[in-house]
Structures are given as structure tokens and as C-alpha cells.
Amino acid sequence: MLTDFHIHSICSDDAHDTMADMALASYGRGVRIMCFTDHVDLDDYRTGRPDPNCFDIWPDIRRSCAEAKAAAPGDLEILCGIELGQANHDVPRAEAIANTEGLDFVIGSLHNLRGTPDFSVLRYISYGDCKHYLSLYVQELLELSQLDCFDVMAHIGYTRRYMLRDGFDIPLTMKNHGDELETIFKNLISKGKGIEMNCSGLRSAGIHNTIPVMSVIKRYRELGGEIITVGSDAHCVADASVGIERGFELLREAGFEYVTVYRKRRPEFIKI
């Protein structure tokens, strides 16, 4: 049984298709449990300034999820979550959002630094520039790992996508930030939280790896990490759940016997 616990719909500004259409595409690729995780970023991605309206989309998310469930095949379970971005920038607000009734799952993401546009908006001019931003990113991940307002930390190493776009391949690895990653993992494990295997990198001609990279995921497992979700991070029908099957194969190779799903913010384990 394949699961996809990071997928977007037109409830996210950067996505292109309805939940119903995304769900049918994922079903066609073998997924039988999925959770929509549309963006709720505390900061405006263009400017990095606080976005007071970031959660106004919630009624649309609930309605779209209900419509997708009604249109879905009987053996496809659709759950409703969010991707909560930059929780460490406004912890009280993040906690209030995460405690909203009706949420099955909350991914904790970091898309931008304080007061800075999304990493996808920035332009990178040198390896030194990239290493500087990566170091700042890891420091904010450390902050995020100490919070309680999410269930798993998403796409650890997110910055690589956009640095690679500008010609600089700087993955986040145990070699360049191993001490910080181990602290992040220990914080998450101690709080009963986990990480995500983001399969979007498997679709990327430049990355050819998961996010985080597999060596980092294996280290998380060695430290005692058991909670791990798998997500395609798809924003259109063409990408919906692409890479998930390969992700499950890689999970087994990394020593995981179970994948995690969430219902009503509670983790459950499925044998893989």
C-alpha cells in the first residue's frame, strides 16, 4: 500500500489542479492513503514579511477535501492536512493554527529565513553565497525542531532545489552539517515527531535523490528515528505521487519496516 503525505492543490498559490483531480492521479499511481498539505506560510514568500491572511484559505481547503472524498474511489482514503511554513517566526500563531479542529496532519516546513524571501525567489551567485544561506537555514531548522506545532519536519535540504537552478549543487549532508542534523533529529525523536522523505528530488534531473538525501535519512534511522512519512510534494497532476513507489523501496533499503500515516494528528504505522 502506497501513501502520499505531502501533496498540493489549487488551494496553494503555486499549484495547478483541484484536489479531486490530484487524488485521481495519485490513485492511478497506486496510492491508497493520501493527505493534502496545502501551504499555510506565516510569511509572504515574495517578501519574507508576516502574512496576516495566510490561514484564510482553511474553509476552501475543508470544502475541497470534502469534494475530493466524494469523487474518490472507495478504496482511496483522503485526509486533510496543511504545510505550516516558518512556525519558528511566530510560535503563538503557529500553535493556534496547528490546533485547528479538523486537521489530520501538519508538516513543519522552512521556506525562508526571517525577513527574507523564499529560497525559491532568491538568486545565488557563488558557492560561498550558497554555503552562507545553507548555514542560516540549518540554524533555523534547529529552532523549528524544538517546537510542538507540527508532526514531521518536511524536505530537510529544501535549499538545494534553487541553488542547483542557479548552477550550484550544495546538498545538505552529514559531512557539511552533521552535528546540527543530529541535534535536529534528537530533538524531533524526543518529542515523538519525525521527518519526511520528500520524493520531489527523484523527479529532478539534477538531484536524483530524495530530500533529505538518503545518507541523512539513514543517519536519522541509526539515531532511533522511526516516524517517517513519504510525500511527492506534487503541485500538478503530472507529478502527483510520482516517485512514491521508488521512495518506498528506498525506505526498505534504509532499514525502515514501517511508514507513518496520520489521522487526527496521531501517528499510525503501516508495514512496508
SS3 state of residue 200: helix
Residue 44 has pLDDT above 90, yes or no: yes
**What is residue 245's predicted lDDT score, i.e. its pLDDT?**
97
Calculate the average pLDDT of the chain: 97
Closest listed residue to residue 114, CA positions, set 144, 154, 92: 144
Q: What sections of 108-241 are H helices per DSSP?
A: 127-144, 160-165, 174-190, 214-222
Averaged pLDDT for residues 59-66:
98
pLDDT digits (tens, 9 = 90+) for 236-269: 999 999 999 999 999 999 999 999 999 999 999 9
Average pLDDT over residues 149-160: 98
Quickly count: other Cβ atoms within 10 Å of residue 214's Cβ: 15
Please check whether residue 231 is in contact with residue 199, taking contact to mean a CB–CB distance below 8 angstroms. Answer: yes
Confidence band, pLDDT 50/70/90 cuts, at residue 204: confident
Cell numbers for 107: 508538516
Q: How large a percentage of the chain has pLDDT more than 90?
A: 99
What are the structural domains, with CATH classification, of the chain?
Answer: 2-271 (3.20.20.140)
- Cβ contacts of residue 96 below 8 Å, gap of 6+? none
pLDDT in the model for residue 205: 80
CB 125 within 8 A of CB 169: no
Residue 138 above 90 pLDDT? yes
Average pLDDT over residues 68-78: 97
CA dist., res. 227 & res. 267, Å (int): 8
Per-residue confidence band for 18, with pLDDT thresholds at 50, 70 and 90: very high
Q: Which residue would you say has higher pLDDT here, 68 or 206?
A: 68
Per DSSP, the three-state class of 70 is: helix
- The per-residue b/e assignment along 177-194, b for 16 or more CB within 10 angstroms, e otherwise, is beebbebbbebbbeeebb
Which pLDDT score, from 0 to 100, does residue 225 have?
A: 98
d(CA 208, CA 204): 6
Q: Which residues lie below 8 Å from residue 88, measured CB to CB, with a gap of 6+?
A: 94, 110, 140, 143, 144, 147
Q: Summarize pLDDT for 83-132 with one digit per residue, the tens.
A: 999 999 999 999 999 999 999 999 999 999 999 999 999 999 999 999 99
C-alpha cell at 189: 525523536
Supply the pLDDT for residue 94: 98
Angle, alpha carbons 82-202-119 (nearest 5°): 55
For residue 238, give the DSSP letter: G
Kindly state the cell numbers that stand for 96: 493556534
Q: Which amino acid is at 80?
A: C
The model's pTM is 0.96
Q: How far does CA 239 lie from the centroid of its chain?
A: 15
Distance between CA 226 and CA 99 in Å, rounded? Answer: 24
The residue-averaged pLDDT of 36-64 equals 97
Place of cell 541553488: 163
Report residue 1 CA to chain centroid gap: 20
